[in-house]
Structure 1
Amino acid sequence: MLHAETYGKIVILNGTPRSGKSSIATVIQNTFEGMWMNIGVDRFMQMTPERYQPGIGLRPGGERPDLEPFILTLYRAMYESIAVHSRLGLNVVADVGHHDAYSVPLGILPNCARILMDHSVLLVGVHCPIEVVMQRRIETWQVGYLDDGSVPKPVSLWQKSVHVPGIYDLEVDTSVLSSEKCADLIRQRLEIGPPPTAFKRLEAMVAG
């Protein structure tokens, strides 16, 4: 039987769309020692049938309560997959956008933390000011501010919801740090410590 010390490393990157999570994950895959598998929101959305889209990527606002039972299941499946990969000795980086702003609170993040309770997980908050997020949306999707100059409601909801409750082992700001520098800070934390505790604190939030 494998013991925890032989498990692969796990890094969870949590932030809004266009915050830079995917770029950091790519640097980790390309530069960190060992094999790093990317298991995150984009991969699960690609596997999700069209009629259940956006699936795990459902934005805050509670606008699709019909999808919410599937989202809970998809998140559980993703974290169970992360656990299996780690137990087989594979390192995992996952870029996600956790929030609990559904039609009713689902408590997904604390419950997913319970799935990885026997693993060492580094939870990284990927921050980016909304002005920079908007500029990246314009550059990537040619979609920006509303006609009155305001930020679209879904974008502002992401910004308010994604970092609740804000329990992290490490936080980075991609408006001031490059993807390479963010990855380097993650590498240092993995190599030097201290040991991560965020997932254990989140798991303790689950009643019972």
Structure 2
Amino acid sequence: MPVLSGHGEQSGQVVLLNGASSSGKSSIAQRLLVDLERPFFHMGVDMIGAMRSPSRTHALDSAELAAVLRRTRAGFHRAVAAMAGAGNDIIMDHVLSEPWRLRDCLSVMNGIDVVFVGVHCSLDELQRRELQRGDRPIGTAADQIHPVHAHGIYDLELDTSTDTVEDCSAQITTFLGRTPTNRAFDRLRSAPKP
């Protein structure tokens, strides 16, 4: 159920694209910015990470780096929630590969209309894209492919190894034109905790 922002406006909508690294989330988000009729902002976890000073991050040991990355991701969730809370529509691309990330999003986005989209891609295609990109450790996508979708509940699921970016954007656009029903985030919030 959308809430009113501090300015008396209804909160914005969040289209949360979740998938492994190299699955095509950012490409879909960029296409949606062109295709959607109302203005959306694209906020991606990689964009937030790119704001961090790289020279300082490289000097951290593994425990310190893990703490910085956790704070970064928690801050990202809150930044998206704040933008939506101010009435902005957001396309959020993320890798929910650790259970706490989804739990945190469920908590901080309570009261915001979140359309949860699973972005799938075959392992062979993920590996091909990862090699082509060359900007992340080889095997990152393979390590994420199962944990990122472990919760198993979405409003809409796409497969970028069989559908084009344009097709994926069209599917999301069509879905957004429907009357909201019981959203995946609502079902996940009410699911029994393990």
TM-score (norm 1): 0.78
Structure 1 residue 203 displacement after superposition? 3.0
Runs of 5+ in structure 1 lacking a partner?
A: 54-62, 101-105, 145-151
Q: From 125, 132, 142, give the equivalent of 1:139.
A: 132
Partner of 1:30: 34
Ranges in structure 2 where 5+ consecutive residues have no aligned partner = none
Aligned with residue 67 of structure 2, among 52, 66, 69: 69
Distance change (3 Å), C-alpha of 1:68 and 1:36: same
Count of aligned residue pairs for this structure pair: 186
Matched, 1:52 2:50: no
* Equivalent of 1:42 in 43, 46, 56: 46
The code of the aligned residue for 1:177 comes to D
Distance 1:161 1:187, change over 3 A: same
Sort the Cα spacing of 1:139 and 1:74 in 2 relative to 1 into closer, same or farther, 3 A.
Answer: closer
Distance 1:130-1:195 versus aligned 2 partners, 3 A rule = same
SS in structure 2 of the partner of residue 66 of structure 1: helix
- Code of the residue aligned with 1:23 in structure 2: it is S
Determine what percentage of the aligned residue pairs are the same residue. Answer: 28
The superposition leaves residues 105-157 of structure 1 with CA deviations (integer Å, 9 ceiling, x where unpaired) of x622112211111011001110000111122223332999xxxxxxx554421
| Secondary structure of 1:132 counterpart | helix
Partner residue in 2 for 1:96:
94
Instruction: Say which SS state the counterpart of residue 171 (structure 1) adopts.
Output: strand
Given that 2:19 and 2:118 are in contact with CA atoms closer than 8 Å, whether structure 1 keeps it comes out as yes
- Which of the residues 12, 15, 34 maps onto 1:11? 15
Quick check: 38-47 or 71-80, which moved more? Answer: 71-80
Indicate the larger mover: 4-13 or 164-173.
4-13
| Partner secondary structure for residue 123 of structure 1 | strand
Flag as ranges the 4+ runs of structure 1 deviating above 4 A: none
Structure 1 pair 142/29, CA: closer, same or farther in 2 (3 Å)?
Answer: closer
Match of 1:179 in 2: 165
Give the structure-2-normalised TM-score: 0.83
